[in-house]
Amino acid sequence: MSTELRFSGRRGEDGTEVLAVTGEIDMSNSDAFAAAIEHALPGHGRLLVDLTAVEYLDSAGLTAMFVHADQIEIVVTPLLAPTLTISGLADVTTMHQVAG
């Protein structure tokens, strides 16, 4: 059983919209993840998707982010960074890696 997926929104210190995600993102909840991204996207500017509390991310979750790659930046720990790099997502959007 996967960890419940939760979302919270806030503004960063610089005014950037932030979508913080907690749990596991997989095929069973990727539609909710995609909807959360779409809902959080600002009218202008970029959305920072904070995945530092995500424990698992599969291809369905990657797809949800690829759709909006030109509008998002992603924050990850070393656990997920290789997944974003291998998938090519890190090549089409900005990825920030923080210590795990």
Position 1 scores a pLDDT of 52
Position 70 scores a pLDDT of 95
- The CATH code that applies to domain 6-97 is 3.30.750.24
- Domain ranges in the chain are 6-97
pLDDT tens-digit profile, the chain (100 residues): 567 899 999 998 888 999 999 999 999 999 999 999 999 998 888 999 999 999 999 999 999 999 999 999 999 999 999 999 999 999 999 999 998 7
Q: In angstroms, rounded to a whole number, what is the distance separating the alpha carbons of residues 3 and 19?
A: 18
Position 2 scores a pLDDT of 63
Q: Which ranges of the chain does DSSP label H, i.e. alpha helix?
A: 30-40, 59-66, 81-87, 89-92
Q: Quote the pTM value.
A: 0.94
Position 10 scores a pLDDT of 94
Structure tokens at 18: 């932030």
Closest of 63, 30, 68 to residue 48, by C-alpha:
68
